[in-house]
Amino acid sequence: MKFIRAMLMSLTVCFIASCSSFLDKHVVWEYEKPDHFPVLRSIGYAPISAQPGDNEQIKNIMAMRASKLDAYRELAEQVYGHQVQGQTSMKNLISSDDKARSRVEGVIRGAKVIKAYAVGDTYATELELDMSLVYDLYRIETRPRKIKKVEYY
C-alpha cells in the first residue's frame, strides 16, 4: 500500500514538474507580410434580352446586376477554387447515368468594378481584386502572427 502511494506521489510530482516548462515562458510575436501580391481580374457576362422585365431599361439593369454577380463568381473561383462532385450509376456493367456538379463558395472583399458595358445584346462587367488590399483587410480582422522570440524563465 505504501509503495503504491509513494509511486502515485512521485508520478504526480513528475507530471507537475513537466507541465511547468509550458508555464514559464514569454512569447514575442512578429507579423509576417508576403513578398508578392497578385492582382486578380474577372469578367462576368449576362444576356440583356433574356432578363425579366417590362421594358428595356429594366432588362438592362437586371443584366448589369447579373453580369456583376457572374464576375464575382469568377473571382471566387480564382480565390477559393471549385468543388466538383461526380456520380456515375451502372447497371449490368453499362453506365446508365452520369452526373457532375460544380460549386463555388466564398467571401470576396475589396473587389473594384473596372468597367461595365454592353456589347450587342450582352452586358459585361470587369472586376479587379488587389490581393494586397485583401491582405490588409484580413490583418485588420484576424491579426495573423508568427513567433519572433521565446524567453524561458
pLDDT in tens, 123-134: 999 999 999 998
Asked if pLDDT for residue 50 goes beyond 80, the answer is: yes
152: three-class secondary structure by DSSP: strand
Q: What is the pLDDT of residue 13?
A: 63
The amino acid at 80: Y
* pTM, full prediction: 0.67
Residue 1 has pLDDT above 70, yes or no: no
- From CA 102, how far away is CA 124, in angstroms rounded? 23
Instruction: Write the CA distances from 62 to 42, 55, 103, 119, 123, integer angstroms.
Output: 19, 11, 23, 15, 10
Give me the residue spans of the domains in the chain. Answer: 30-152
- The DSSP line for 72-116 is HHHHHHHHH--EEEEEEEEETTEEEEEEEEEE------S-EEEEE
- pLDDT of 69 over the 80 cut: yes
